[in-house]
Amino acid sequence: MPQHVSSAHSGDRITVFQQNGAAANKIRGILEYGRGISIVEVLDFPTNLPEFIDDPAPYFPERIQGNIVLSFLKHPDLADFAGHYCRRQGVVMVASGPRKIAGARSPFTCCGLAEHAELGSYGRQFGIPRYRVTLKDKRIKALTVERGASCGATWMALSRLLGCTPDEALEKVAREVQFHCQADPAAFDPISGHSPLHFAGNTHYKALEKALRKAASTMS
């Protein structure tokens, strides 16, 4: 059985599946930048696992505490079982990464998660980034994150963009986000040929570009 770490319940209740502390940065980002969300349970699975697990069920508890599960399991047998396990319990699971998990929301990266009503406060605050921009004298006077990456990279990059012209900010944003991004740069999507790190940078670029267009239109 994995090790359990629990906290008090409040608002959306998140259970995390991880191996060897792999979700530490995501947990930190959710707690720092999220509102109305609690990490109520962290199940830390062992790393010294057999290559094939015929029956993954004994690795999981009978019930989980959260109403949303974030899975960072790398072992394919555990990851696949987790999707079916959560679905049977009526719990939505998010498993970011290039591999699709049946029964789960499986965006390529945590900042590629679309909004879904079933994900509650977590889904409204974390996923495909969304900015709000205020321009003054053709520079960014204020920049607010309305939705961002659960690792916190969207928020951590802000200070480097304030005071920039729109062109300067667009030139910087992907690089600044990638500096803080926790995605594995070695993992590639076989269809697009892009790594999660490239995907994260491009997603933030498009989000900022959209926010800048909206800000400019309100000034004209």
| Dihedral (Cα; 33, 35, 39, 45), 10-degree rounding | -40
Q: What is the pLDDT of residues 100-155, one digit of tens each?
A: 999 899 999 999 999 999 999 999 999 999 999 999 999 999 999 999 999 999 99
Using the predicted structure, report yes or no on whether residue 207 has a pLDDT greater than 80: yes
Token pair for 65: 């505490």
Q: Could you tell me if residue 149 is inside a domain?
A: yes
The CATH code of the domain that includes 189 is 3.90.1010
Residues 18-70: tens digit of each pLDDT? 998 999 999 999 999 999 999 999 999 988 899 999 999 999 999 999 999 99
Q: What digits encode the pLDDT tens for the residues 159-195?
A: 999 999 999 999 999 999 999 987 766 666 655 667 8
- Answer whether 40's CB lies under 8 Å from 9's CB: yes
Is the domain of 134 the same as that of 101?
no
Based on the fold, state whether residues 61 and 135 are members of the same structural domain: no
Q: How many domains does the chain have?
A: 2
pLDDT computed for residue 99 by the predictor: 87
73 and 143 share a domain?
no
Range of the domain at 46: 3-106
Q: Which amino acid type is present at position 24?
A: A
